[in-house]
Amino acid sequence: MTKVLVLNGPNLGRLGKRQPEIYGHTTHAELAELCTGWGADLGLEVEVRQTNHEGQMLDWLNAAADDGLPVVLNAAAWTHYSYAIFDACAQLTAPLVEVHISDPHQRPEEFRHTSVVTPYAVEVIAGHGIDGYRMALEVLARA
Ligand code: DQA
């Protein structure tokens, strides 16, 4: 079974409580369970992680690069300004899919309209809610 990492950045641990009108009612624990199930259906072994600490995310991305693991990345706010995340994505050796629950390009804050992840992503999936993670896993299953 191909192993895939689903890596979620800051504030995504608060899914379900955080601005549900934007991010929905599914909790991060429920998201993790859904991703594992969707992955199993696609023949993927999925591991879902979330961190509020940028150094932790960098360590996970560096290890994914060394291990040749495909990644689904929702870098959350780091997406918009972290050149450290940009540099870590540049080193990945297997396909990377960028996911956002909302569609940052449709949101009013100008800062959300830039992504440091997009240059290294085989696909960007945004604005499909939690289902976007299923779509991202489908992309990786085909890759
Ligand atoms: C997000 C969009 C980002 O702009 C925001 O900072 C997040 C979540 C999303 O999934 O829609 O934290 O990545």
The protein residue whose alpha carbon is closest to atom 7 in ligand 1 is 76
- Is any ligand 1 atom within 6 A of the Cβ of residue 101? yes
pLDDT for residue 23: 98
Task: State which residues form the domain around 95.
Answer: 2-142
The Å distance, Cα 31 to ligand 1 centre, comes to: 15
HSE-CB of 100 using CA atoms within 13 angstroms = 23
Find the catalytic residue in 23, 28, 120, 133. 23
Count of domains for the chain: 1
The protein residue whose alpha carbon is closest to atom 2 in ligand 1 is 76
Q: Which CATH number covers residue 42? A: 3.40.50.9100
Sheet holding 96-100, edge to edge: 44-50, 2-8, 71-74, 96-100, 123-126
14 annotated to bind ligand: no
- E strand spans, the chain: 2-8, 44-50, 71-74, 96-100, 123-126
80 annotated to bind ligand: yes
What are 53-96's pLDDT values in tens digits? 999 999 999 999 999 999 999 999 999 999 999 999 999 999 99
14-28 mean pLDDT: 97
Residue (of 8, 48, 7, 26) closest to 129 by Cα position: 26
The protein residue whose alpha carbon is closest to atom 3 in ligand 1 is 76
Assess whether pLDDT exceeds 90 at residue 1: no
